[in-house]
């Protein structure tokens, strides 16, 4: 039996909700043995049925939708501790693709036992609902980002959100974080061309707000970046209310 204490998912839920060790152990029992996925080997494909849900244990993946003309929109990047493919399970069929960015380790969630567990541990059910609501809040924020912020603000907001998420699982700080994303990936996430992503990154670097180079994001001036991007992290780390 695996323990999930001291894993990213435990860190995340503890930071936001404060589940007991016992409850975390129960959650751990819903996880099948972990599986490794290599780059180039997709987890979920658009249109697939009978899909499983996962928790990401290590590595980064991205969820995206692809269009007829070949362009794609990355909906979100998932980092350790995040759920994968929950909507695909509810919908029975996946409306998006999930692709690993780095080597990845996932645990499959045992759906059949989920409902029983929820009956016995309602706080866990609420924790799941809270986590899903948080995911939706991130998509909404992403929408605002693309719809109403200019490219530089958009990039700044994106880097800050990622930094805040990584901080919760101990993989980032107000100084910066290690980041495996490429400029083409950023372009597909932010609705820009890869060339323009490059220019925007240079811009942020030249004004001394943030530097992204060699797989490292450095916040050169965190407070100024927050002000510039109009960033408010409360949707990321706010405790759920029905859990008090």
Strands 61-66 and 97-100: antiparallel
- How many Å apart are CA 172 and CA 217, to the nearest integer? 10
Closest CA to 134 of 234, 28, 6: 234
- How many Å apart are CA 236 and CA 4, to the nearest integer? 21
State which of residues 22, 38, 92, 213 lies at the interface with a second copy (CB under 8 A). 92
By rule CB under 7 A, what string of x and - marks binding of each residue 81-120 to DNA?
A: ----------------------------------------
State which of residues 20, 29, 175, 238 lies at the interface with a second copy (CB under 8 A). 238
193 is a site residue for DNA (CB under 7 A): yes
5 is a site residue for DNA (CB under 7 A): no
Judged by beta carbon, residue 144 or residue 194, the one nearer a second copy is 144
What is the rounded (10 degree) CA torsion for 10, 13, 16, 20? -80
User: Between vectors from CA 168 to CA 210 and to CA 13, what angle results, nearest 5°?
Assistant: 155
- How many Å apart are CA 59 and CA 241, to the nearest integer? 30
Nearest distance from C-beta of residue 157 to a second copy, angstroms: 11
**What tokens does 196 get?**
């323009």
Nearest distance from C-beta of residue 129 to a second copy, angstroms: 6
The radius of gyration of the chain from alpha carbons, rounded to an integer in Å, stands at 18
Nearest distance from C-beta of residue 111 to DNA, angstroms: 34
Closest CA to 103 of 57, 64, 63, 72: 57
194 is a site residue for a second copy (CB under 8 A): no
Nearest distance from C-beta of residue 127 to DNA, angstroms: 36
Beta carbons of 80 and 169 less than 8 angstroms apart? yes
Residues 133-192 that bind DNA (CB under 7 A): 150-151, 182-184, 191-192
Q: Which does 174 bind (CB under 5 to 8 A by kind): DNA, a second copy, none?
A: none
Q: Which does 201 bind (CB under 5 to 8 A by kind): a second copy, DNA, none?
A: DNA
- How many Å apart are CA 143 and CA 2, to the nearest integer? 37
State which of residues 93, 173, 175, 178 lies at the interface with a second copy (CB under 8 A). 93
Q: Which does 208 bind (CB under 5 to 8 A by kind): DNA, a second copy, none?
A: none
199 is a site residue for DNA (CB under 7 A): yes
Q: Which does 113 bind (CB under 5 to 8 A by kind): a second copy, DNA, none?
A: none
């Amino acid at each position: 039996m695996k323990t999930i204490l001291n894993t990213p998912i435990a860190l995340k839920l503890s930071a936001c909700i404060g589940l007991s060790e016992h409850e975390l152990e129960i959650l751990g029992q819903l996880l099948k043995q972990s599986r490794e996925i290599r780059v180039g080997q997709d987890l979920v494909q658009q249109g697939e049925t009978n899909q499983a849900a996962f928790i990401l244990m290590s590595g980064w993946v991205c969820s995206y939708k692809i269009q007829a003309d070949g362009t794609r929109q990355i909906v979100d990047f998932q980092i350790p501790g995040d759920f994968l493919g929950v909507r695909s399970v509810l919908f029975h069929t996946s409306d998006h693709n999930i692709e690993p960015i780095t080597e990845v380790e996932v645990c499959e969630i045992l759906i059949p036992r989920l409902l029983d567990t929820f009956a016995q541990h309602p706080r866990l059910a609420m924790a799941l609902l809270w986590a899903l609501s948080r995911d939706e809040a991130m998509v909404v924020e992403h929408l605002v980002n693309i719809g109403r912020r200019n490219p530089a603000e958009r990039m700044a907001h994106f880097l800050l959100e990622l930094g805040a998420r990584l901080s919760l699982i101990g993989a980032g700080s107000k100084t910066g974080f290690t980041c495996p994303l490429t400029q083409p990936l950023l372009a597909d996430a932010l609705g820009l061309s890869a060339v323009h992503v490059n220019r925007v990154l240079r811009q942020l670097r030249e004004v001394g707000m943030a530097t992204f180079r060699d797989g490292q994001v450095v916040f050169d001036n965190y407070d100024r970046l927050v002000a510039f991007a109009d960033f408010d992290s409360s949707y990321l780390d706010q405790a759920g209310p029905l859990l008090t």
